Amino acid sequence: MLCMGIEGTAHTVGVGIVDSQCNILANIIKMYSPKKGGIHPREAANHHAEHIVSLISESTQEANIDYKDLDLVAFSQGPGLGPCLRTAATAARALSLSLDTPIIGVNHCVAHLEIGRKTENCENPVLLYVSGGNTQIIAFSNGKYRVFGETLDIGIGNMLDKFGRDLGLGFPSGAEIERLAEKGDKLLELPYSVKGMDVSFSGMLTAATYLIQKGNKKEDLCHSIQETAFAMLTEVTERAMAHTSIDEVLLGGGVASNKRLRGMLSTMAEARGAKFACPPQKLCIDNGAMIAWMGLIMFEGGVRMEISDTVVKQKFRTDEVDVSWR
């Protein structure tokens, strides 16, 4: 069985093609990067609309298949920005109708987990999902994926990007912050905001902006923000593992590229005798292959959708999904 997945929740528009064994036959993305400031939903959607048709056709060439070989079309139904979601959904519907192929809308956050579970051979992991807009700790319990902890305000990636903008770095800034942090050694004090199982980053951002104005070294600032924010994330992930008695931890989302975050989590996992895993970068960031894989296992698990079921859900919650495939 061959499935094409279309991703378009936020900055990234992507198309991937996978088969029933999760061989990734194609996985290509294009990322919208605003010239100034943060993401403008309509502009991002225009960017996706401009590229989506060529990405679809390139993906079939890369996979060396014909459109008629596709058995299923999947797309990210939410959560995300309305205009972006609608662009991806419209493309998926058009493709499904013209090819007379079934269509499935998938939850973007759960797709991050399922692709990692497959490629990293994890049975039942706790997922730490860290991207621009999202920061969640997710695990399976009583037939659903549940959010055990999350950010109470902004996502970790958005926090890093805003901090990077204040430092005069380009967008997105996570990777540059990581490079600078390697040369920093002084730990400046920043708010460590863990509230039960949840975290909060806006206070840290305000405090860090103040420390920039005070003339602290960029390297020390980056080092401090990483150490504090990642320690918070590691703490809540460990607590979720302890509560659920789960001994696997999976990392996903764009911020998973960060070696310091990986290092902290793998040290924590090792100390607990648990497994730490992280999919390759191309599958951690937003991409179409994870959407295709998620659609495929849902379909094989008996899920079916009509076009009328494919309305996008901007606030699609992780625990709304009935997990019939596990």
Phi, psi (5° rounding) for residue 79?
Answer: -80, 160
Binding-residue pattern over the window 271 to 290 for Fe ion, x denoting contact by CB under 5 A? ---------------x----
Let me know how long the chain is. Answer: 326
CA distance 228 to 98: 51
* Amino acid, res. 202: S
How many other C-beta atoms are found inside a 10 Å radius of the C-beta of residue 109? 26
Of 64 and 281, the one with the shorter C-beta distance to ligand ATP is 281
Q: Which two tokens stand for residue 110?
A: 């759960």
At its nearest, how many Å lie between Fe ion and the CB of residue 76? 9
Q: Does 258 bind ligand ATP (CB under 6 A)?
A: yes
Of 178 and 286, the one with the shorter C-beta distance to Fe ion is 286
- Tokens 């490629």 correspond to what residue? 119
Q: Return the residues of window 4-43 that contact ligand ATP according to CB under 6 A.
A: 9-12
Phi, psi (5° rounding) for residue 140?
Answer: -85, 130
Of 44 and 221, the one with the shorter C-beta distance to Fe ion is 44
CA distance 161 to 176: 10
Total of chain residues touching Fe ion, rule CB under 5 A: 2
Q: Does 220 bind ligand ATP (CB under 6 A)?
A: no
- Tokens 């090819």 correspond to what residue? 99
CA distance 293 to 241: 26
DSSP state of 151: B
Of 102 and 295, the one with the shorter C-beta distance to ligand ATP is 295
Of 16 and 102, the one with the shorter C-beta distance to ligand ATP is 16
Q: Does 286 bind ligand ATP (CB under 6 A)?
A: yes
Binding-residue pattern over the window 116 to 145 for ligand ATP, x denoting contact by CB under 6 A? ---------------xxxx-----------
CA distance 12 to 104: 20
How many other C-beta atoms are found inside a 10 Å radius of the C-beta of residue 156? 29
CA distance 32 to 40: 10
- Which of 255, 278, 292, 294 touches ligand ATP (CB under 6 A)? 255
Of 43 and 247, the one with the shorter C-beta distance to ligand ATP is 43
- The one of Fe ion, ligand ATP, none whose footprint includes residue 223, by CB under 5 to 8 A per kind, is none
**Contact positions vs Fe ion (CB under 5 A):** 131, 286
Contacting positions for ligand ATP (CB under 6 A): 9-12, 80, 131-134, 155, 157, 160-161, 172-175, 178, 253-255, 257-258, 285-286
